[in-house]
Amino acid sequence: QVQLQESGPGLVKPSETLSLTCTVSGGSISTYYWSWIRQPPGKGLEWIGYIYSSGNTHYSPSLKSRVTISVDTSKNQFSLRLNSVTSEDTAVYYCARDQRSTSCYDFWGQGILVTVSS
């Protein structure tokens, strides 16, 4: 059974960079797409972007100028960086696996709350 686990700081200051890592266990990161999705407190879900195990990426246009997703296949991890954060970026951040041949998500991490505040 594939498992995903997000890790990183739970508090980031405004204008700084949010950095999260997702560790995949129980399966290889290779030959799959992997995504980041976020959910502001009490609100709905927002797709951030995805990366293929080869390193190809695709981002949401609304965040594209501030987002970088990278992968480290040797560690079975992929990462999210979001720069110039504001309070609008406060959310639970989820990592997820794209189901093969689709861009819906069959395995999710438990989520990590990141608060942007000074």
| 2 part of the interface to other proteins, by CB under 8 A | no
C-beta of 49 vs 116, nearer to other proteins:
49
Backbone angles phi, psi at 25, to 5 degrees: -130, 160
Out of 2, 11, 45, 113, the only residue in the binding site for other proteins (CB under 8 A) is 45
Q: Quick one: residue 76, left, alpha or beta (phi over 0 = left, psi -120 to 50 = alpha)?
A: left
Contact string 54-93 vs other proteins (x = CB under 8 A): ----x-xxx-------------------------------
Residues 6+ apart with CB under 8 A from 36: 20, 22, 48, 49, 50, 69, 80, 93, 94, 95, 96
- Residue that has been written with the tokens 């989820």 in this structure: 94
Q: Does 3 bind other proteins (CB under 8 A)?
A: no
Which residues contact other proteins by CB under 8 A?
Answer: 44-47, 58, 60-62, 94, 99, 102-106, 108-111
